[in-house]
A and B are shown apart, each in its own frame.
Chain A
Amino acid sequence: MSRISNRQLVIAFLACRLSAEMTTIPGEMFRYGTDRFIVILLAKLVVALLYLPVIAVTLKFRGDSVITATMRRNKAFGITAGVIMSVLLTMTAVQTVLSLQHYVTDTLLNNIVTVSGIAGITAAAVYGAAKGLSAVTRSSVFAAVIFGLLIFLIGVTMWDKTEPDHLYFSLANDRTYFFKSLISEISMNSEILIFAVITDELRRKPHRTVLYYLPILLILLELLNLLYNLILGPYMSKVEYPLYIIASLSDIVLFQRLDGIDAIVWLMCGIIKTALLIYCIGRIYAVCSKKPRTKLALTVTGFLVFMLCIILGSDAGIYDRMTDVMNSGIHILLGGVVVPLIVLAAGRKKQSRRVKKNDENI
């Protein structure tokens, strides 16, 4: 098993989270005003708290991931936790692929056949997952470079279109929107599920990833929100993909319409995220079955994700319900908090039993 560095995982997580920002977040959540700046800040503080149980597991079990720790404790317990995590990861992968498919058909290729779009994205993700965690995180560095280039080019070409008067300060004018947006913003952080599964594949202390990742993400998201407010103003509430619109407005001699680069970045990030999610399911299978070869498991998972995308994506009602469930953040709460807390509690019980046994022996 080749281990990866914290830095690699930070960049991969940024690709995952930023792709969710562009393709998964509901359009009505991008609302003009300062509320969203505060929402992003609060959401990151909450997310930092949500990471604590997983970090506690890794610290308590010397770098073990949640699944490895449960398997060491009890096989049945480990398999149960593995199944729960696999279901949550599969649902996140399905949501990611469907959102990405919608993004691609809404923007670049409006006449692409849905099946071929989903098949293409899933196949690329399965291939990435089969190449391993190191390969996926390395390719996310490439996506990060293109993202940086996109932001730089937008900055160069759009600086004269920014309007500082669009900025004003207010605190939670619309409380319903504020809380809805906060929950949605928290629910976007499904990397916590990935983190819970792959901490034992990190070279150094896993909590360092969170220490670097969250502040960088906070700055990036606030910067993007600032860009939307400065350029689009009140119009940002009406658009589904604000960065795509901003990128398409670029009109200088060398760079006219950067929307193509924008679409490529989010397509790459979406595939990286799906690849990581599928890899995690393969990893759970490897830990639970104690078989290092996971290629078949990855292929089966890819096929399952593909089939679920076809079934769930074919009905708008089911898709909307699934999106509502995912936007409630229940998957993060369950996989990122409840399961690790149970593992911690079980570990403590085992420890206290051992202490008691030792006392009796003495």
Chain B
Amino acid sequence: MMKIFRTAAVAVLAVFTLSLCGCVNYVDLADRAIVQAIGIDYLPDRKVYRISMQYFNQSSEGGQNQIDKTQDNVLKSVGEGDNVFSAAKNASLLTGKDLLLSENRLIIIGRELRKYDLEQTIEFFIGNFHSHPQAYVAAAENTAEELLDIRFKEGSTSSQRLSDLIRNAASEGRCVYSYPYRVMTILCTGTRSAFLPLLKTAELKTDVTIPKEGDDSGKSGGEEQSEDGETTIILDGGVIFKDGVELSQVNADTSTAVFFMTGRPSEYSFTVPLEKYAKPSITLNDITRSVTAKEKDGKVTFDISLKASGKIGSRGNIKEGDPDAVNVVTKAAENELRRMIKDSVIPVAGKGCDVFGLENTLCRCCNKFYTENKDRIGEIIADSDYNVSVAIDIFSLGLNTA
């Protein structure tokens, strides 16, 4: 009897618990704007923040195909306000939909906004626990809205291509995975530095071959070349920040150097400038770094050491069985990588910007000196010396193509 009573009690409790979801505010999925990408700009003439959001066009989905290509896969909503939060709220009001940020994969920061504290901008996404923590943060060459106006038909949504662009570049070792928490991790250091990958618009030239219309006799009129231009978005270098605001734009090499110094690149390919062997390409794997610091009479020297295994991706003129090839290519590759790291680190660190995590190294290796000079860490990094050593092991992975 007791057993029956207990079973009934559990059943009643289960039904009651399951129906509790009806007691809270409920918004139908169709009434939500599933945000895919957010662009934030600052309009200095009107002193307002402008948020542009690409959200999923639910009417483009359905039927037998997953995606209806005849319709735009995303819609855009724009809102303005005195801060990021109110701009987002206004965008929601104009759309008439509840914003769902948990699927957002990209946050683009416009040029004007980068003149103001980056931390305050990103804080909106960090503080909003529903926001997707692994959305990429990127900088726009001009306005963020301009980038979101360019639509792509690839992928389930237009913004997927942009986030894929950053993800792919990161997996190739070209730029860091710029998740908000990673940006914040560097931004929380003494110099309040940060690095964001830079997205630019570009004209994509494509040659199209068009068959000429034939004459009345039915003969083909041959073929003619025509050039067609398409606006696309490319990833080109990045933007570095100091004291929370933009310091300067940097090239692709610096972008790679930031990743080498702060992350764990899984792969990186580059061309070795070697005349004799006609510039073979090397693909590095298993890349590890070690950064140490030593201090003498108030002068700090950072020793940066990189180790990697490599494969020759493109052989150039290297003949199979060439006994000197390994050594010559290795040496040239090491020199090239050393040059790249040195040319990237010294100018940026010289400005007192710490996107390479040098403060952390100083804290680790010269803690007493760091504690005493915490307040002038930017100056110390700017005045420091940098030694770079690179060791690439091509032999262990073989000379065959990667």
Which residues of A are in contact with B by a Cβ distance under 8 Å? 32, 106-112, 160, 165-170, 173, 232-235, 237-239, 244-245, 248-249, 251, 257, 259
Judge whether B363 and A106 touch: CB under 8 Å.
Answer: no
Per the bound structure, the CA–CA distance linking A146 and B35 in Å amounts to: 32
B264 and A237 contacting across the interface, CB-CB below 8 Å: no
Nearest B residue (CB) for A116: B23
Q: How far is the CB of A161 from chain B (nearest CB, A)?
A: 9
User: Can you pick out 16 interface pairs between chain A and chain B where the beta carbons lie within 8 Å of each other?
Assistant: A110-B129, A110-B130, A165-B291, A165-B357, A165-B361, A169-B367, A170-B367, A233-B185, A233-B360, A234-B185, A234-B360, A238-B188, A245-B181, A248-B129, A249-B181, A257-B133
Q: Which B residue sits closest to A234, measured CB to CB?
A: B188
Q: A111 and B25: CB pair below 8 A?
A: yes
B133→A249 contact, CB < 8 A: yes
Chain A residues contacting B360 (CB-CB under 8 Å) are 165-166, 168, 233-234
Is B401 engaged at the interface, CB distance under 8 Å to the other chain?
Answer: no
Q: Could you tell me which residues of chain B, from 80 to 139, have a CB within 8 Å of some CB in chain A?
A: 126, 129-130, 133-134
Question: Nearest chain-B residue to A256 (Cβ)?
Answer: B134
Instruction: Say if the beta carbon of B287 comes within 8 Å of chain A.
Output: no
Which residues on the B side are within 8 Å of A249 (C-beta)? 133-134, 179, 181
Query: Is there contact, CB below 8 Å, between B185 and A232?
Result: yes
- Would B189 and A244 count as touching, CB distance under 8 A? no
Contact B188–A235 (Cβ < 8 Å): yes
CB of B363 within 8 A of CB of A259, answer: no
Q: Are A259 and B129 in contact (CB under 8 A)?
A: yes
Q: Which of B25, B129, B357, B367 contacts A107 (CB under 8 A)?
A: B129
- Give the shortest distance, in Å, between A256 (CB) and chain B (any CB): 9
**Whole-angstrom CA separation of A238 from B130 in the bound complex:** 18
Known contacts A160-B264, A165-B361, A249-B134: A238-B129 contact under CB 8 Å: no
Is B252 engaged at the interface, CB distance under 8 Å to the other chain? no
Q: Across the interface, name the chain B residue whose C-beta is closest to A248.
A: B133
Assuming the A-B contacts A233-B360, A244-B129, A249-B181, are A168 and B188 also in contact, with contact meaning beta carbons closer than 8 angstroms in the complex?
no
Contacts of B367 in A (CB 8 A): 168-170, 173
Known: A234-B188, A238-B184. A165 touches B24 (CB 8 A): no
Task: Contact check, B188 vs A109: say whether CB atoms are below 8 A apart.
Answer: no
Known interface pairs A106-B129, A112-B24; 17 further A-B residue pairs with C-beta atoms within 8 A, sorted by A's residue number: A109-B24, A110-B129, A110-B130, A111-B24, A160-B264, A165-B360, A165-B364, A168-B360, A173-B367, A234-B185, A234-B188, A234-B189, A234-B360, A235-B185, A235-B188, A248-B129, A249-B181
The 7 closest A-B pairs by CB, nearest first: A168-B364, A234-B188, A235-B185, A170-B367, A235-B184, A233-B185, A248-B133
Q: Which residue of A lies closest to B264 (CB)?
A: A160
Closest Cβ neighbor of A241 among chain B residues: B129
What chain B residues lie within 8 Å of A238 (beta carbons)? 126, 184, 188
The yes or no answer to B371 lying at the interface (CB within 8 A) is yes
Query: A167, B185: Cβ atoms under 8 Å?
Result: no
Measured between alpha carbons, how far is A107 from B24 in the docked complex, in Å? 16
With a cutoff of 8 Å between Cβ atoms, the chain A residues found around residue B364 in the complex are: 165, 167-169
Q: How far is the CA of A257 from the CA of B189 in the complex (A)?
A: 27
0/1 string, B331-372, CB within 8 A of A gives 1: 000000000000000000000000001001101100100010
Write the nearest CB–CB distance from B307 to chain A, whole angstroms: 15
B308 to chain A, nearest CB (A): 17
What's the nearest-Cβ distance from chain A to residue B294, in Å? 15
Chain B residues with Cβ below 8 Å from A239 are 126
Residues of B with C-beta under 8 A to A170: 363, 367, 371
A331 to chain B, nearest CB (A): 31
Residues of chain A contacted by B357 (CB below 8 angstroms): 165
State how many angstroms separate the Cβ of B305 from the closest Cβ of chain A. 13
Chain A min CB distance to B121 (Å): 14
CB-CB under 8 A from B181, the residues of chain A are: 232, 235, 245, 249
Query: Are A245 and B133 closer than 8 Å at their CB atoms?
Result: yes
| Contact residues in B for A160 (Cβ distance below 8 Å) | 264
A109-B24, A170-B367 given as contacts; is B134 within 8 A of A251 (CB)?
yes
Nearest Cβ on chain A to B133's Cβ, whole angstroms: 5
Give the residues in chain B near A111, CB-CB below 8 Å: 24-25
How many angstroms between the C-alpha atoms of A213 and B181 in the bound complex? 34
Distance in angstroms from A252 CB to nearest chain B CB is: 11
CA distance A170 to B368 in the complex (A): 8
A110-B101 Cα distance, complex, nearest whole Å: 14
Residues of B within 8 A of A167 (CB): 364
A32 to B128, CA, bound (A): 22
- From B24, B130, B133, B357, residue with most partner A Cβ within 10 Å: B133
| Chain A residues closer than 8 Å to B133, beta-carbon distance | 245, 248-249, 257
Q: Inside 8 A of A245's CB, which chain B residues have their CB?
A: 133, 181
User: How far is B129's CA from A44's CA once the two chains are assembled, in angstroms?
Assistant: 32
- Enumerate chain B residues within 8 angstroms of A112, measured Cβ to Cβ: 24
**B residues near A259, Cβ cutoff 8 Å:** 129
In the complex, A169→B363 CA distance in Å?
Answer: 8
Contacts of A234 in B (CB 8 A): 185-186, 188-189, 360
Contacting residues, chain B, for A165 (C-beta < 8 A): 291, 357, 360-361, 364
How far apart are the CA atoms of A108 and B133 in the complex, in Å?
A: 15
Q: Are B363's CB and A168's CB within 8 A?
A: yes
Distance in angstroms from A259 CB to nearest chain B CB is: 7
A170 to B362: give the CA distance in the assembly, Å.
12
- Residues from chain B with Cβ under 8 Å of A237 in the complex: 188
Residues on B with C-beta less than 8 A from A168 are 360, 363-364, 367
Cβ distance B297 to chain A, nearest Cβ, rounded Å: 22
B129 proximity list for chain A (CB < 8 A): 106-108, 110, 244, 248, 259
- Nearest chain B CB to A83 CB, angstrom units: 37
In angstroms, Cα B133 to Cα A110, docked, is: 17
Closest chain B residue, CB of each to CB of A259 = B129
Q: B185 — which chain A residues lie within 8 A by C-beta?
A: 232-235
Least Cβ–Cβ distance between A234 and chain B, in angstroms: 4
Contacts of A108 in B (CB 8 A): 129
Question: Nearest Cβ in chain B — how far from A222, in angstroms?
Answer: 19
The CA-CA distance from A111 to B361 in the complex, in Å, is 43
Shortest CB distance B108–A (Å): 20
| Identity of the chain A residue whose Cβ is nearest the Cβ of B289 in the assembled complex | A165
* Cα distance A107–B129 in the bound complex, in angstroms: 6
Q: Which of B184, B185, B291, B361 has the most CB of A within 10 A?
A: B185
Closest residue of chain A to B177 (Cβ to Cβ) is: A161
Residues 187-204 of B contacting A (Cβ, < 8 Å)? 188-189
Closest beta carbon of chain A to B275's beta carbon, Å: 38
Select which of A107, A166, A169, A173 is within 8 A of B371 by beta carbon.
A173
Q: Which residues of B contact A109 (CB under 8 A)?
A: 24
Residues from chain B with a CB closer than 8 A to the CB of A244 are: 129
CA A259 to CA B126, docked complex, whole Å:
14
Q: A244 vs B129: C-alpha distance in the bound complex, in angstroms?
A: 9
